[in-house]
Amino acid sequence: MEQQLKFAVVGGDMRSANLAGLLASDGHSVRAYALEKYNFAENVTKAFDFAELMKRVDCVILPLPIQSDPDVLNAPLSLNSYSVNEIFNLFHIGQTVIAGKVGNSLFERAGHNGILLFDYLEREEFTVANSVACAEGAIQLAMEELPITLHNANCLVIGFGHIGKLLSHYLAGLGANVTASARKYGDLAWIRAYGYNPANTGSLSGMLGSFDVIFNTVPSRILTAELLEEVRENCLVIDLASKPGGIDFNAAKRLGVKVIWALSLPGKVAPVTAGIAMRDTIYNILSEWGVGK
């Protein structure tokens, strides 16, 4: 950024905390709100009055995801709970706000109130960088939890989006036997082209008993109770999907299937790298809109 800006980093996990430090290190004025549990360096100032804070900033950075529950700001590093709707009431006309996983209702509200709202999850550069951290974190979890190596392990990756593509690539590089599933014919063609075993996400019945580890990347119910009954003993299931997840967790518990729901994995395993991805994407958005030039 050519111009020093005034940023407010509001809520979020370790990714947001690291983002605040990165922005400050670049020479910007940074104030952090709803991040009281984190000990910032001197170049980041903690704020405690949100209404006053909004009078003094050029850009507000909200978390990924923006909400932990309906109308609840995602703020695990805060001592308090905050309403997203109440926060939006305090934005002024022309306020620039950047957040992650923003729903249609908030976009509509922002438009009616004259707020410039952007979602960094809609940016390809951020999604790819975030997927790298998620895929690496998933492999780290598998290595920690499995009693076998991933080399020569039978692995199923459900979904062939950004995370599914990278995860399949990394697993194959470790020598795993990779089966990847998708619904689209084009994705299935790419799965074959990469040398993985193809499977249709909608037709997994009859094949789940052969895997040592199953990774789900699809944020809708894929592994039902019926399918979980086919999962063999000692198979590890890692759900990388955002809420509501892709697994019947109650059925898994009843059946004794070990499931790890790895929410917000980049913020847990690579918060500095994730913070860099957020910063770079924010700069790209502001540059495109002529902010900071």
Residue-wise pLDDT tens for the chain (293 aa)? 668 999 999 999 999 999 999 999 999 999 999 999 999 999 999 999 999 999 889 999 999 999 999 999 999 999 999 999 999 999 999 999 999 999 999 999 999 999 999 999 999 999 999 999 999 999 999 999 999 999 999 999 999 999 999 999 999 999 999 999 999 999 999 999 999 999 999 999 999 999 999 999 999 999 999 999 999 999 999 999 988 899 999 999 999 999 999 988 888 999 999 999 999 999 999 999 887 55
The pTM assigned to this predicted structure is 0.89
**The pLDDT value given to residue 290:** 84
pLDDT at 292: 59
Question: What is the CATH class of 6-122+269-288?
Answer: alpha beta
Quick check: do 6-122+269-288 and 131-262 share a fold?
A: yes
Assign a CATH topology to domain 131-262: Rossmann fold (3.40.50)
Residue 259: C-alpha distances to residues 62, 236, 253 (Å):
30, 6, 8
Domain definitions of the chain by residue range:
6-122+269-288, 131-262
Q: What is residue 2's predicted lDDT score, i.e. its pLDDT?
A: 66
